[in-house]
Chains A and B, each alone.
Chain A
């Protein structure tokens, strides 16, 4: 009885809502996940060459870092509205906006990671006859990986939160459910979508942490205290 009526009485937590709208919830979650995933992957693909360019010369580094920082101060609402004439009401609009936001964090972290590679390691590799490409791929990237992954995790988590704003053009994943529920004060839907959104962020963060540990087995040899200190430093950057 209580289960049936919670939709009528507009309770915060409603089992009946979860049962009857499970398809809607799944669709929104799936949209949320793929918009986030596409955005951060494209963000990484764009940020990487930008970071390499910025590292090559100080003259490029200033404008690249400046531009990505300015992008971050553009309100997300305005960003999505301004991209509308270019893309129309499409997921590409939301993805583009999210890619632009992720660049700020990604470029900074990749750059910081690459710059923290010890000079001795690079010199040793060069002395062994490594060319620039192999040096980057086999020495610098693995050593920069913890910082890169830290940035990737922050970018992913904040992109998951920002995706909700995409509901202004109807492509906001779980944000759409929140927006739809607002006019009728549908509490169960707002709460469920919000909780799912935070859960997604937590799960994504933990998954990426697992990936990072798999990719960098050598960091686990260090004591935990060192690792915490290193993470604290990376995040402070």
Chain B
């Protein structure tokens, strides 16, 4: 088990390094955008003096390198700074830090919502995808296999908003079972939240199932020519048992990796779905912040996205190792 711990620590260290590089790239990219926060807020007609005064107040006039490092040091200590766009600009001559809303305060509820939606989707999508994949492998080349493939492929090939509207049409408009607006709030009970978020979760399920299901099917079928699968058949085991007991445990690594990638997508890539269902997640906040050049929020979002990818991939690696007896029990 010592080796697994070492691998985890190694990956974590690499992950931190990746995060730092990501933050640099993001910072450089945002700085390269034309216009600044001040021009975005004050409008095209703002006098150069007003822009300069605002930039000075916010510290935007300092060199980029200085700004980057002061932000980095604060971020390392857990302080992601103050959201520029949420500051009280009626009196922007005053100290922004006193009246502003911190990035952490802005992000935290949004991030919780995003995690909630991603978690709910995963709870539905992962079991459905793996089960469909196993069944498709079991009844490969049958009508069921083809139908599942066609259905999942067409749902992943259609634009996300289209899938969303189709579901709204059938599950909210024609049959008023679920609310089409998913503006969840903190004062809802868990049940209400689940019900309110069900439509976006179902839409996302349709989008992420295809990858996971097809990988499950392919990984299992890939193993069916193995001598140990033939051995299981020659021991008189049922086709279902051959697949679930003999093929699936050896096919876990690629499946887990695709699941991790899809979960990361659920955290970082669902802005269209959030817009369609008015879901208060982190994606919308991110897009708004880019629009207003709210650099601290953009950077914090990017770091969260990068961290989600790194952690989920790390988790996938660890699960792959645990699923492989050769690595779990060295000779």
A binds B: no
Residues on A lying within 8 angstroms of B by beta carbon are: none
Name B residues whose Cβ lies closer than 8 Å to a Cβ of A: none
